Amino acid sequence: MQGHTQHMKKGKVLLTGGTGLIGNFLCRRLLYEGYQVACLTRGNHVMDGVETYKWDVSKHELKQEVLTDIDYVIHLAGANIGESRWTASRKKVIVDSRIQPVNLLFGQIQLYQVPLKAFISASATGYYGMVTTNRIFEETDPHAYDYLGETCHSWENAADRFQEAGIRTVKIRTGVVFTPKGGALARIALPVRLGIGAPLGTGKQYMPWIHIDDLCGIYIKALEDKAMEGAFNAVAPEHITNCQLTKAIAGVLLKPFWFPPVPSFALHLLFGEMASMLLTGSRVSCNKIIHSGYDFKYSLVNDALNHLLGNSL
pLDDT attached to residue 1:
36
Tell me the per-residue pLDDT of 205-236, one tens digit each, with 9 for 90 and over: 999 999 999 999 999 999 999 999 999 999 99
Q: At 212, which amino acid appears?
A: I
Tell me the per-residue pLDDT of 140-192, one tens digit each, with 9 for 90 and over: 999 999 999 999 999 999 999 999 999 999 999 999 999 998 889 998 999 99
**Share of residues in the chain with pLDDT > 90 (%):** 74
DSSP assignment letter at 171: E
pTM of the entire structure? 0.94
Residues 6 or more apart whose Cβ sits within 8 Å of residue 78? 17, 94, 97, 98, 122, 155
pLDDT attached to residue 7:
44
Hey, how many other C-beta atoms are within 10 angstroms of the C-beta on 313? 9
Cross-strand pairs, 262: 200
Cross-strand pairs, 40: 16, 53
pLDDT attached to residue 266:
86
Angle at 88 between CA 242 and CA 80, to 5 degrees: 45
Cα 285 to Cα 296: distance, rounded to the nearest angstrom:
13
Which letter, b or e, does each residue of 180-190 get, where b requires 16 or more Cβ atoms within 10 Å of its Cβ? beebbbbebbe
Rounded mean pLDDT, 243-259: 92
pLDDT attached to residue 311:
67
Q: At 211, which amino acid appears?
A: H
Question: What pLDDT band is residue 312 in, cutting at 50, 70 and 90?
Answer: low
Hey, how many other C-beta atoms are within 10 angstroms of the C-beta on 291? 8
pLDDT attached to residue 5:
42
**Residues 145/99, Cβ–Cβ less than 8 Å:** no
Cα 106 to Cα 279: distance, rounded to the nearest angstrom:
36
User: C-alpha distances in angstroms, 286 versus 36, 136, 297?
Assistant: 29, 10, 13
Cα 66 to Cα 40: distance, rounded to the nearest angstrom:
8
Structural domain spans, the chain: 2-177+210-235
**Residues 62/54, Cβ–Cβ less than 8 Å:** no
Q: Quote the longest CA-to-CA distance of the chain.
A: 62
Q: Is the confidence at residue 10, as pLDDT, over 60?
A: yes
**Residues 115/70, Cβ–Cβ less than 8 Å:** no
Tell me the per-residue pLDDT of 102-136, one tens digit each, with 9 for 90 and over: 999 999 999 999 999 999 999 999 999 999 999 99
Question: Average per-residue pLDDT in the chain?
Answer: 92
Nearest to 296 by CA among 200, 179, 241, 215: 215
CA 166 to chain centre: 25
Q: Is the confidence at residue 200, as pLDDT, over 60?
A: yes
pLDDT attached to residue 3:
44
Q: Is the confidence at residue 302, as pLDDT, over 50?
A: yes
CATH of region 2-177+210-235: 3.40.50.720
Angle at 299 between CA 297 and CA 305, to 5 degrees: 90
Tell me the per-residue pLDDT of 278-297, one tens digit each, with 9 for 90 and over: 899 999 999 999 999 999 99
Rounded mean pLDDT, 252-269: 88
Hey, how many other C-beta atoms are within 10 angstroms of the C-beta on 166? 8
Residues 6 or more apart whose Cβ sits within 8 Å of residue 259? 196, 197, 198
In total, the chain counts a number of residues equal to: 313
Q: Any idea which of 39-48, 54-63, 111-120 has the lowest mean pLDDT?
A: 39-48
Helices (H), 181-241: 183-193, 212-224
Tell me the per-residue pLDDT of 83-94, one tens digit each, with 9 for 90 and over: 888 999 999 999
pLDDT attached to residue 4:
45
